[in-house]
Amino acid sequence: MNRNDERSVSDVLQDIFGNVQDIVRSEVRLARAEIGAEAEKTARAAKPLITGAVLALYAGGLLLIAAVYGLSMVLAPWLAALAVGGFVAVVAATLIAVGQGRLRLIKKPEKTIKSVKEDVQWLRERT
């Protein structure tokens, strides 16, 4: 190759950066397409789940009312409502305590946090 045919370093670097940008853009487009397809499937699956959950809440409420009515045949209505309400409160408190205990066991991604902090520190030193 003769000297006039050689490209400058800045031209080569511009080409490299341009190619890297094209690759990143392609990857982003691919990720968007994949996420879009999965989001559509998720939405289709979520509709009956949400509907079922709402109906389950109504069913639970109706069953609690039925329990109050059933107990009111043996106890005073206010006492039946108090008994069912107290039972539901105890179950709710137990479930909340179990959930909080499980949340405490979840650990932060310490390695990732440390790595990001190191990257930020490195960038600060370089700029």
Q: Which residue has the higher pLDDT, 5 or 72?
A: 72
Distance CA 12, CA 22 (A): 15
pLDDT in tens, 21-36: 888 888 888 888 888 8
- DSSP conformation letters of 50-70: HHHHHHHHHHHHHHHHHHHHH
What is the reported pLDDT for 127? 65
1, pLDDT greater than 50: no
Host H or E run for residue 123 = helix 110-126
Q: Which residue has the higher pLDDT, 39 or 64?
A: 64
- Give Cβ neighbours of residue 72 (< 8 Å, ≥ 6 apart): 80, 81
Distance CA 127, CA 114 (A): 20
Confidence category of residue 121, pLDDT binned at 50, 70, 90: confident
DSSP 73: T
State mean pLDDT over 103-111.
82
pTM above 0.75, yes or no: no
pLDDT in tens, 67-106: 999 999 999 999 999 999 999 999 999 999 999 999 888 8
Q: What is the mean pLDDT of the chain?
A: 87
